[in-house]
Every structure is written in C-alpha cells, then in structure tokens.
A and B are shown apart, each in its own frame.
Chain A
Amino acid sequence: MEPLKILVIDDEQVICSGCRMILSELGHTIDTCNTCKEGLDAIRKLDYHLVLLDIKLPDSDGMEILKIVQVEKSEIHIIVMTGYATIRSVVSAMRLGAFDYLPKPFTDEELIASVEKAMKNVGGSGKVQ
C-alpha cells in the first residue's frame, strides 16, 4: 500500500506533533498547521490524500474547510477530530463528506486504525458518502 500525504490541522501543536510522529513512523508524509487559513492554503497548494481536521479552530469553524474541500478537491479524505463530540456534530460532519471521525482523546492505535481505513479507500471505490 502506498504511503499517504497527510495534512494535520489542529490548533493544539502537541496533537499535530503526536500525529506526525506516529504516522511518519508508518512511512507517511506529514504536514501540520494550526489555523483554518493555513490549512486551506496548504490544501489548495499541495495534493494531499488525507486531512486530519480539528473542527474547532481559532480563526474559523473546521466545517468550513469540509465544505470547501468537498467542492474544490472532493478526492481528499478527511478525518474529523474533536474534543466536543455530539452526535449532531458528527452527523453534520459526515453529511459534509467527512470520511471518519475521531473523538479526542484517542490512542495511537485508534488513530492508526482510522488512517488505515482511509488508506484502503484511497484509490479504491471512493469515499463513503
């Protein structure tokens, strides 16, 4: 299976660094950023397979990124992360095209399992709608 190009968007630098450490050990290429704006710039400039997205960001709602990616780069898989998990927010994220959902806090294995699920889907039958 091909290694993925992954972008982590979270305002908590510790979470970005943790995800980078764990996923890069599996051979993936990881970029990180802490705001919605930086995230969108990076997504538009580079071709990522997967984005790990915190839906509560300081400059804007992560849901906005979901909407834009759905229109501009719908091939990107997005895994939503949040410390404020409500069924409503999960359902909204899924409706906006998120591939999976990781409630914080999560273990490395939960992170890896979610990324592997996305990997299988990249280049496969397409995203779960």
Chain B
Amino acid sequence: MHASTHVDEILEVVVWKTTELLDAKGAIFRILNLKTEQLELYAAHGLGKKYLEKGPVSSYRIITELCRQNEVITIDDIMGDPRVQYPQEAWEEGVRMILDIPLSLGNHVVGILRVYFSEHREISKDKKDFMVAVAQQCSCAIDKARLIEEQQSLYDKLVLHTAKMSAIGRMAAGIAHEINNLLAGILLYSSNMIKKVPEDGPLKEGLDIIVHETIRCRGIIQELLDFSREREPKKTLANINDIIGKALNILENEFRIDHITVETDLSEEMVSSFLDENQMEQVFVNLLINAVEAMDEGGHIRIKTRLGSEEKCIKIEFEDTGCGLPKEALDRIFEPFFTTKAKGTGLGLAVSYGIVQNHMGDIRAYSEPGKGASFIVEIPMIQQPSSEETKGFENGAP
C-alpha cells in the first residue's frame, strides 16, 4: 500500500478487496479535500452510477463525529438513520446495511470507507478490527501521497522561479553591457566639455545635468549587474550579528523620525562565517528601508538570527508591522524594476536577491495585506574559505 504514491490506485484496490472479503455489495472511499473541506469520491466498487452521482453519502459533521469516536459503525436502518444522506436512493440501489469505517490521522479527519450490504448480517469483531487496520494504512498512504504532491508543487514553483530570475539576470547583464558602452561616450564627452565652457552660463548648467544624470545611470546599471550575479562577493570572516548592528546604526535616524521600535533577538551562539560583509549589509539595509517605508509612524520591526540545524546555515528573519503585500506583488517582489512604492526603482530587493544567491543562500518573503511582512534570509555557514577566495588579488586589482 505504501509503495504506490498514486492514492487513487491504492483506494481502488482497497474498495474492490474489501467488497470481496466482506462479501458485500460494494464499497466507496470519500476523502476530505483540504481546500474545499468537501468529502470527495475517490474510489467506488459495486455501486450504480446513479447513486454515486447523487453527492456526499454523509455530512461532514457526521463523519467528523465518526472519526472522533474512531470505531466502526453499523447502520441497519437505512431509511431512518441520519447518517445516510440519500436513504431513498440507497434503498433503491438495494442497500440494506452499511458499515462506516473512519479514516483519521491523529486528530485529523482524512475521510471515510463505507461498505454496502444487500442484506442484514452480523460482522465479526475480527473482520471489523481488520477493516480498521486497513483504514489506518490507507490514511497513512493518503497522507504520504499528499506530502509528496505538496513537495512536488513547491519544487515546480521553485524551478520556475529560478529559471525566470536567471533569464532576467542574463537579460540585465546584456543590457548593462550595451548601455555602458553608450554611456561611456556620453560621459567622456560631457565631462570634458564642462571644462571648456564658460563657468557661468546655460551650457555649463546643461552639461552638469548630463554628467550628473549619466553617473546616476551608471549607478543603476551597477545595481542591475549586482542583481544578475555579476559582482562576486568578496568574502571575509564576519559575524552576521555585527553586520545587523551596523545596518541598524545606518538607519537609526529613520527609526527615530518615524517612531519605529526595533526589537532584536540575535543568537548568542552565532559564530563568524565567510561572507561579503558590505553586500550583506546592503541586503539588511534594503530590507530595513522597505520595512520603514511600509509602516506608518509607530511601527515595530523584529530581527532574529539563528543557527540552522547542525550549524550548517545562518537564518536571519525580519518582521514588520507594515501594510503588507498582496499575493500578486509577493510573486514578483524580487524582479528588477518591480516596485509598489511611488518613488522606488524596484532594484533594492532584486539586488538583495542577487547578493543572497551569490552567497549560495536563499531569500523568501511572506506577507498578507494589512498583516505586515516577513523576510527570511538563509545563507550557508562557511568557516573555511573556498579555493576561489584564497586566490585573492595578488595582481593588485583596483
């Protein structure tokens, strides 16, 4: 039963074998759909289409009660028992007795196995016990299949997300290269022309603007390259708690102006790890700025650091009491140029994403409108530098 991950196949076999074993008319499985909270027909044997199409054989409340008692219930009075949802149809189908076997896992209702008989009869305790055991096995198999299904869907989503982000990254790097070449011409000429025009006058003013705006473009493109993982981290041993301290110092003023309280819960067991201190600081500053901008006066930010299992990773969590984000925004939040702010460039989180990816880590966002947001950054704990990092810059790169 546990070998197959296809629940339908298992349940088909169980209803068929149950019918045979108990010499019954037929049997059905109804399994609780966790999303709709409806009991859906999963497998049936020996019953007419007309009866099966009628709908749920019993109400959710009755089945929950059945699972709570966790015992096999015999229904002798088809026409009078409230557990039978469609007595007339059941009678016409030739059903004279029903056996309900609950499917539960711990305190959770999974579903019901209902066996139909054409005549009243005595079912031995052994047979009932056996059916309970079968039902338990089925519950475990259903649970296992659901888990696998959930993981598969999570994995598919992750693959799609990674592919999308890497495509955007490649595009960003390509654009950056082309634009930088064009900007080089503009900046070279305009920065030189400035020196050749009268100190006071419209030409000087115009050229000043051209130089200034071109340098701004250079900054944006540098950030795009950071996102597209083209700026490798310069890793040194650093303690993440210290970096959080620095990021908080940078924004101290903002917190004061907006009356924002910051609570830190930094792990005392935190040890130094190889990472790019400046880049990680940039990630934390970006996350904190977003939190500040998402909150009205008097908000609260909570920062927590922890060592992951077996000290293999470092987990940093940022929580705010801000306006939160709808799901549509959450799905696109790390894309470059995606922003929910009126004056945002949409690069802060994209760059942060690139930096964390460059550290072989992961950044995730959780939020609901009106319920704040939380960002979790996970990076691997590295206590020995890799060969790449030990090479250094012996040739004196600028």
Contacts and interface: CB of A to CB of B under 8 A. Distances in A.
Say if A and B assemble together. yes
Interface stretch (B102-110, B157-165, B186-194): B186-194
Contacts of B187: 105-107
A109 B186 CA distance: 14
Contacts of B202: none
Contacts of A46: none
Interface residues of B, number: 32
B177 A84 contact: yes
B395 A14 contact: no
A83 B176 contact: yes
A15 B184 contact: yes
A56 interface: yes
B395 A94 contact: yes
A105 B180 contact: yes
Question: Which of A22, A85, A88, A105 is the most central at the interface, judged by chain B CB atoms within 10 Å of its CB?
Answer: A105
Contact of A87 (B177, B214, B218, B231): B231
B180 A84 contact: yes
A119 B162 CA distance: 48
B312 interface: no
Interface string B212-235: 001000100000010000111010
A104 B184 contact: yes
B191 A108 contact: yes
A120 to B, nearest CB: 15
Given A12-B181, A104-B183, A22 B398 contact: no
B181 A100 contact: no
Contacts of A109: 191
Nearest to B211: A107
B222 to A, nearest CB: 9
A106 to B, nearest CB: 7
Contacts of A128: 395-396
A19 interface: yes
Interface of A: 12, 14-15, 18-19, 21-22, 56, 81, 83-88, 90-91, 94-95, 100-101, 103-109, 111, 128-129
Interface of B: 173, 176-189, 191-192, 195, 211, 214, 218, 225, 230-232, 234, 391, 393, 395-398
Given A87-B231, A87-B232, 9 more contacts: A12-B182, A12-B184, A18-B192, A22-B188, A56-B177, A83-B181, A84-B176, A104-B183, A129-B395
